[in-house]
Amino acid sequence: MSIDKKPMTNKPLQGVRIADFTVHAAGPFCTHLLALLGAECIKVESTNRMDVFRKPHPVYGRMEAASFAQVAANKLSIQINMKHPRGAELARRVIAISDIMCESFRPGVMDRLGIGYEALKAIKRDIVMVSVSACGQTGPDRNYRGYAPLFGATGGLGTLTGFEDGPPVEMRHVMDHGTGLTAAAAALAAYFRKKRTGQGQHVDISAREVAMSFIGDALLQFAATGHSHGRQGNDIPGMAPHNVYPCEGKDMWISIAVAEDSEWAGLTRAMGREQWLSDKRYASAAGRWDNRRELDKEISEWTRTSTREDLTKLLQKHGVAAFASYHAKDIVEDAHMRSRGAVKQLTSPEGETRMAVGVPWRFSRTPGSIDTWTPKLGEHNRYVFGELLGMAESEILELIEDRAIY
């Protein structure tokens, strides 16, 4: 049974196949990015243990599995019961026809299932295996469980995030996506080396270390001085104003950042406060920084009487870096995003439509794209097992009956 696939002519990763054993968000975001680039991504799932993000979350008011839909579009879905001996063998056959294998279980799980890196090398010498975990495949904390907020916490990012008079603000989705993006870049590097040398390798991605890579300046400061700056809210040392300000309407905000005197002059013109240019409190960058709280208060009084859209146009006209703080609805309806294809409408085989996030890059010759709806569990069993592995229908039915395909 074949599948209806839209043409992927000239996509950068056309012809690359990925065996995707990732779950939750960080690992699936890695393979999602590769699928957007044209890789054929086969997501391996099981009825016994579906990806937790495939399940709806009514307690959060979300009856559709939006978290799963975001990172599963463009992918294929097959069912393999990895705890069944014949299922494990089936998984090895899928990996044997793949270029890259990605997984995001705790260290040791893949070895116990018989598809750790050493075992995979025996069936496909040049396989690139990408393992995404909280703390990495080695070290004393290798078996620690972890989700997005813990990544930033253990990587030191949380202590730098939040307001100085409040607790750490642990990062959530950005940590999953940052880890996934890092894993995708590393996977491509290993794949291109494989193309040059014919040698595969195991890529070990620690989400904790990804978070730590974001605080390099703090680590360097500590090494040089014995201390590092703590939480600073929206402050950036030396820049003022640098904050979000309330606008007309409920929960409407605009972000304004001034780095240069020319931008400061533009802000004073837009506000009709040119007298601030000679005000000793604000005439210099140092003065604006020292008096930033008073400055923020005065700007807030001005912004709250206008809409964020009008303020954005006015401030940008005067050369000020300013933009509305968008909600999801704003992004979906934004004319600029739609014109660039950053937000795209998808249609399911049943005719249902929804908006989806498109590719965050533009290639002049080999564009990536989001093309297909989120796959149903096991939707592509016949294509992968039948067409790709060459299994007879009778064998597929036997494995379904035996719950190896389940």
Q: Tell me the sheet residues that pair with 214.
A: none
Other residues' Cβ atoms within 10 Å of the Cβ of residue 37 = 24
In the chain, the amino acid numbered 132 is V
Q: Distances from the Cα of 106 to the Cαs of 48, 116, 207, in angstroms?
A: 18, 12, 12
Considering the candidates 20, 51, 99, 176, report the single residue annotated as catalytic. Answer: 176
Helix (H, G, I), strand (E, B) or coil at 169: coil
120, 127 Cβ separation under 8 angstroms: yes
Distances, alpha carbon 61 to alpha carbons 50, 114, 376, in Å: 21, 39, 22
Cα–Cα distance measured from residue 72 to residue 32, given in angstroms and rounded to the nearest whole number? 6
- 51 belongs to the catalytic site: no
DSSP state of 376: P
Give CA separation, 386 vs 18, 72, 158, in Å: 17, 22, 48
Pairing of strands 100-103, 17-21: parallel
Spatial distance between the Cα atoms of 4 and 130, rounded to a whole number of angstroms: 29
- Considering only CA atoms, which of 291, 327, 293, 295 is closest in space to residue 308? 327
Among 170, 159, 266, 283, CA closest to 218: 159
Taking alpha carbons only, the member of 158, 180, 184 closest to residue 53 is 180
Q: What is the spatial distance between Cα 6 and Cα 88, in angstroms, rounded to a whole number? A: 31
Report, as residue numbers or ranges, the catalytic residues. Answer: 176
